[in-house]
Amino acid sequence: MTVALLTLELFLSTSRSLKDKRMVLRRLKDRLGALNVSVAEVAHQDVWQRAGLAVATVASSDAGAEQTLTSVMDLIERLEPGLVTRRQVDYLR
């Protein structure tokens, strides 16, 4: 069993308020839920144009977890191109 954690740093250039930021993050979280992952905002909650998201998944192998997290990144890039400024993947075995 593998638990994988994808940590993302996001830059929301069009956000002009916390409300704008929350709308974008809510849309991302709702769509990512279809991939059977857990998503939480973990950093920069009070900053308009930055966000830190953590995405967690559990799989039977590293390859399965990596495939899920690749799907997460693909979906984010499709919905909001250029939003991700940094990403890091950690595996817990």
The answer to whether residue 68 scores a pLDDT higher than 90 is yes
Question: Whose structure tokens read 């809510």?
Answer: 26
**Model confidence over 23-47: pLDDT tens digits?**
999 999 999 989 989 999 999 988 8
Domain at 2-88, CATH from 3.30.70.1120, 3.40.605.10, 2.40.50.180, 3.40.50.280:
3.30.70.1120
Q: What are phi and psi of 15, to 5 degrees?
A: -75, 130
Instruction: Give me the pLDDT at residue 80, please.
Output: 85
pLDDT confidence tier of residue 21, bands split at 50, 70 and 90? very high
Q: Match 């250039």 to its residue by tokens.
A: 13
Residue 35 carries which DSSP code?
G
Show the DSSP H helices in 1-93 as ranges: 18-32, 62-79
- In the chain, where are the structural domains located? 2-88
User: Which structure tokens are listed for 87?
Assistant: 């990403």
What's the average model confidence in pLDDT over 72-88? Answer: 92
Angle at 85 between CA 87 and CA 23, to 5 degrees: 100
Q: What is the pTM of this model?
A: 0.88
